[in-house]
């Protein structure tokens, strides 16, 4: 593999963006290799983690490649990003991001396609496309905007504003903030926990929740009732529920306490 590293740690697939000399900028070849590795992870793992090698997670689109494209080639490239990132956003596995350094442009679009994001204290976030004379093309107008809100994303794009990790947590861009160098460890820990869930539950969480968010209230509640009934009648759910009733597994504990 030229642009990615791959490691299987138990049930967790760990994908490393490995183009540090370009701040892990995403090219067409990068996307195609990414597509192959995602499919491999889906066949071998129950959860996944994406991180970046070097001092940054990902600085976004490879502009040196992009500037040579025709408008039609640019549209096709954008749609391919949508397709591949869609496998993360609404696919088979829960994906966790371990973020540090630059999470910029397409890097933020990639991070926004994951289910859970862990960032260390060095992480910073920006959408500089407006300053480059272009527009977001990897899903930010949908995924990133729904995380942080339209007004905040508009501000970032119009002014070139870069935000730190504490602001990103307040804006719901990241869910966990950890000290420098610990994002990958924490992301793998969380992914390993998610990998123990029932497969059908993880699939429903990944695929149903974002769709329900796009629905009206009545439609969302109607769909929820069917998914709840479907998952509750699976053999794995029956086994897990009986284990709880028989006190073979612990109850939910207070934060900081042991279950």
The CATH H-level superfamily of 4-194 is 2-enoyl-CoA Hydratase; Chain A, domain 1 (3.90.226.10)
| Same topology between domain 4-194 and domain 199-245 | no
Rounded CA-CA distance 87/190 in Å is 20
| pLDDT tens-place string over residues 48-96 | 999 999 999 999 887 667 677 787 787 888 899 899 999 999 999 999 9
Reported CATH class of domain 199-245: mainly alpha
Per annotation, catalytic residue among 33, 65, 109, 236:
109
CB–CB of 150/140 below 8 Å?
A: no
Per-residue pLDDT, 150: 96
Per annotation, catalytic residue among 73, 129, 180, 189:
129
Of these ranges, 94-98, 223-227, 250-254, the one predicted with the greatest mean pLDDT is: 94-98
Per-residue pLDDT, 35: 96
Strand 116-120 with 95-99, pairing = parallel
Q: Say whether 234 sits in a helix, a strand or coil.
A: coil
Q: Is 109 in the active site?
A: yes
Say if residue 258's pLDDT is above 90.
no
Q: How much of the chain is in helix, strand and coil states, percent to nearest 5?
A: 50, 15, 35
What is the average pLDDT score of the chain?
91
Q: Is 129 in the active site?
A: yes
The model's pTM is: 0.90
Rounded CA-CA distance 198/243 in Å is 13
Per-residue pLDDT, 131: 79
Handedness of CA 133, 139, 142, 143 (dihedral sign): negative
Strand 4-9 with 12-17, pairing = antiparallel
Residue among 86, 62, 66, 88 nearest 76 (CA): 66
Q: Retrieve residue 44's tokens.
A: 């071998």
Q: Say whether 64 sits in a helix, a strand or coil.
A: helix
């Amino acid at each position: 593999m030229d642009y990615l590293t791959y490691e299987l740690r138990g049930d967790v697939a760990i994908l490393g963006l490995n183009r540090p000399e370009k701040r892990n900028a995403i090219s067409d070849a990068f996307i195609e290799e990414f597509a192959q590795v995602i499919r491999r992870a889906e066949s071998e793992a129950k959860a996944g983690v994406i991180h970046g090698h070097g001092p940054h997670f990902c600085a976004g689109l490879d502009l040196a490649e992009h500037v040579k494209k025709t408008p039609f080639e640019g549209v096709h490239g954008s749609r391919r990003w949508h397709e591949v990132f869609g496998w993360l956003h609404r696919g088979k596995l829960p994906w966790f991001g371990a973020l540090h350094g630059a999470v910029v442009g397409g890097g933020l679009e990639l991070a926004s396609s994951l289910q859970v994001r862990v960032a260390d204290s060095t992480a910073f976030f920006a959408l500089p496309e407006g300053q480059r004379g272009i527009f977001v093309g990897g899903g930010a107008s949908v995924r990133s905007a729904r995380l942080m809100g339209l007004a905040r994303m508009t501000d970032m794009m119009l002014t070139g504003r870069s935000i730190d990790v504490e602001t990103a947590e307040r804006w719901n861009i990241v869910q966990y903030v950890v000290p420098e160098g610990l994002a990958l460890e924490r992301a793998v820990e969380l992914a390993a926990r998610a990998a123990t869930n029932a497969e059908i539950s993880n699939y429903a969480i990944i695929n149903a929740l974002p769709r329900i968010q796009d629905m009206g209230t009545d439609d969302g509640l109607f769909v929820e009732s069917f998914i709840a009934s479907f998952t509750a009648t699976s053999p794995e759910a029956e086994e897990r529920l009986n284990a709880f009733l028989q006190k073979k597994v612990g109850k939910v504990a207070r934060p900081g306490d042991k279950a």
